[in-house]
Structures are given as structure tokens and as C-alpha cells.
Amino acid sequence: MANQRLIEVSHYTFEYPDGTLALSDVNLDIYENQFIALIGQNGSGKTTLAKSLNGLLKPTSGYVKIDSLDTREKGTTKKIVTKVGYVFQNPDHQLFNNTIEKEIAYGPNNIGLSQAEVKERVEEAARVCGVEQSLFHEHPFFLTKGLRQRVAIASILAMRPKTIIVDEPTTGQDLRQSLEVMNFLRDLWENQGHTVIIITHEMNIVASYAQRCIVLTKGKLVLDGTTREVFSQPDILAEAFVKPPQITRLAQAFPDYGFPKDTLAVEELYQSFQNVVKKAQ
């Protein structure tokens, strides 16, 4: 049985007021239980597309439908925020309440839920995100960046959206923090049932976590497939100014030796090397 379609993008074009054409005739579908990476150089249209997927931006032409809700129609905003959540690149641009509890509760309160329901959602989102209730009365800006990002994600999860978009989840974080955030997002996908969409320039992160890749260049969608399928097309990626991970490029540099061009991990490259050695013996 096919996964349910959550978002439909049809012939979507977006032009900014200054005349900049950010997206041109984009067509794609987002399904439940996917982990997707939006990739492409700066200015390719990634963030514009991401903000269109939750109705923050309205189309110049074409449409986006979120669970059959057309983002062009008035009065859909309160419904859309319960279906698609957007976490900004810098959590400091998203957090504005003076306590963590108020921050997480803001969305549920804003859609008119009962206080009992709000309390339940706040505690659930905090638990899933690893935000201790002992911190509820702290100011978000007193936390580490990693914890602030968790609070930002918890504020989105409290709305119980099926889809979560996270803009540059590892920017400004060290390796340990980056792995912590990405493992948390993978848990939301694998164990909590969310569709997760990340915008990133980190191809190693994409190779390790993303199930599907969408590649944009100059406002056009040029590749859309599994991560292996996308990274195995270096010529198209080069035109989009995207470099596959170093391990992938190393394997692709020696096609005559039988290294698969869709190699994503060191372990895979090592196994391929062993196979080459066995054949040579």
C-alpha cells in the first residue's frame, strides 16, 4: 500500500515583488514517512520552496495543496500550521516568549485548544524533544543553541504536524551537536511517524540520513529520487553546483575497478574494495 500524499506541488512558480524569479514550474509530491533533503547552491530556490510547502509564501502561478488545503485560499492558515511545521535556521529568530513552557504552548493556545489539551501537548512535545520540565520556567535564550533548537522543534511538534521542515539543522554546531540534532530528527521520522524535510549544504549529512533528495538549481527542480539515485548522477549535480560526499566522489573516480557510483559510506567503499581484491586473486 502506497504512503499517503501529504503535499502536492503543481506547476508552482514564485516571483518576488522585485521581479526575482525564485521558482519556475516545480512539480513534486511529498508523502508520509519520508526523510527528504532539499539541496542546491545558495539562491537555487530551496528556502523559497520550503516556505511554500507550509503556506508562508503563496504562488505566483500553480498551486500547493497540503492535505487537500490550497495555500492560495483565505482562512486556511490555522489548519495548515497543524499539518506542516517550519523550524528556522536560527532558533533565535523563532523563539520570542519569556519561558520555555509559554514558547511550546504558544501554537496550541493560538488555535484555541482547551488548557488541558495545551498542557498535554506541551508535555508530550517536550518529552519527545528531550526538554526537561524542570526547564519550563527558564528563558529560552539562557539555553545552549542545541537546546534552543530542541525548544523550537518542540514548539512545532506541539501542533502535531505530520510534516516538519528544518532549515540548516547543523549550521553553527560542532560535530557532537550536529549528530545529536540529526539523530533526533531521524527518531522523529523512524519512530514518531513524521515526514522530515531538511534544507542543507552538508552532503555527508544528506548521505547519512536522507531517504530522498530534491535538487534545485536556478529555481528549477533538476533531480528528485532516492539519495543513491541522486548522488549517482555527478554530471547533473555539477551543473547544480552540488558535490556528492567525498566517499561517493572517490568511488566514482575509479569506475573501471567496479566501485558502485552510488556509494554513500566508507563501509560500502571498503566492501567494494574487498570484492575487487577477491576478483583479482
Instruction: State the cell numbers at 220.
Output: 528549477
Q: Beta strands 5-15 and 21-31: pairing type?
A: antiparallel
What is the C-alpha to C-alpha distance for residues 189 and 162, in angstroms, rounded to an integer?
A: 10
Of the pLDDT bands very low, low, confident and very high (cuts 50, 70, 90), residue 281 is low
Given the C-alpha cell 511550546, which residue does it identify? 104
What is the arithmetic mean of pLDDT over 13-21?
95
Are residues 244 and 250 in contact, defined by beta-carbon separation less than 8 angstroms?
A: no
**Which residue type sits at 229?**
E
24-53 mean pLDDT? 96
**Which residues contact residue 241 at a Cβ distance below 8 angstroms, ignoring those fewer than 6 apart?**
40, 41, 217
Domain parsing of the chain, residue ranges: 1-83+198-242, 245-281
Q: Looking at the predicted structure, is the pLDDT value of residue 93 above 70?
A: yes
Of the candidates 151, 142, 202, 196, the one whose C-alpha atom is nearest the C-alpha of residue 172 is 202
Q: What is the pLDDT of residues 224-271, one digit of tens each?
A: 999 999 999 999 999 999 999 999 998 898 877 778 888 888 888 878
Residues 6+ apart with CB under 8 A from 63: 8, 9, 10, 11, 12, 70, 71, 72
CATH topology of domain 1-83+198-242: Rossmann fold (3.40.50)
pLDDT of the residue at 1? 45
pLDDT band at 177 (very low <50, low <70, confident <90, very high): confident
More confident of the two residues 145 and 122 = 122
Q: What pLDDT is recorded for position 90?
A: 81
Q: Yes or no: say if 189 and 36 are a contact pair by the CB < 8 Å rule.
A: no
Cell numbers found for residue 232: 549517482
Task: Determine the 3-state secondary structure of 10 from DSSP.
Answer: strand
